[in-house]
Amino acid sequence: MSAESSEGSEEFFQALHYNADGLIPAIAQCAQSGTVLMMAWMNRESLQVTLDSGQVVYWSRSRGKLWRKGETSGNAQKLVEMRLDCDGDTLLLRVDQQGAACHTGRRDCFYRVADATARTWHIDQEPLQDPAQLYGGDSA
């Protein structure tokens, strides 16, 4: 990683609007199927490391540190394409997802679907992997 690529272009980073905590939401989408896998947060450092390495790195709000997706579970995300929305406050990451994206072992995190009439949530996706075998302490 060169100093230049790590530092990046100021103009590039100025297009991003972070929230009061210096974070921007990042939606991860499977580049092959279009499935929305998860939503997590990035800060400038995680964004730089992601662009430098080609592997998706978020900022863990609960742990207060960089979160290299798959560091414990092995279920890493390879960055295929990074997109920014019109007002610069949301990222869309198109990724190659290794294994399950969700810490529950499911393909994606959006496994609860609303019954709008009954006002209940139904789970309609089974785990692909046993979360007990995936994790020591990784959160997703």
Q: How far apart are CA 69 and CA 112, in angstroms?
A: 22
Report if residue 31 touches its own copies, rule: CB under 8 A: no
User: Least separation, in Å, of the C-beta of 27 and its own copies?
Assistant: 6
Report if residue 136 touches its own copies, rule: CB under 8 A: no
Three-state DSSP string of 80-91: EEEEECCCCCCE
Q: How far apart are CA 28 and CA 96, in angstroms?
A: 10
User: Least separation, in Å, of the C-beta of 140 and its own copies?
Assistant: 7
Longest dimension (CA), the chain: 56
Among 23, 66, 82, 128, binds its own copies (CB under 8 A): 82
User: Least separation, in Å, of the C-beta of 71 and its own copies?
Assistant: 18
Tokens of 33: 């199927």
Question: How deeply is 20 buried, as exposed, middle or buried, from its count of CB atoms within 10 A (0-12, 13-18, 19+)?
Answer: exposed
Task: Tell me the three state secondary structure of residue 80.
Answer: strand
Report if residue 120 touches its own copies, rule: CB under 8 A: yes
Report if residue 35 touches its own copies, rule: CB under 8 A: yes
Report if residue 29 touches its own copies, rule: CB under 8 A: yes
Q: Rule CB under 8 A: which residues touch its own copies?
A: 5, 8-9, 11-12, 15, 25, 27, 29, 33-36, 38-39, 51, 54, 79, 81-87, 90, 92, 102-104, 106, 109-114, 116-121, 140
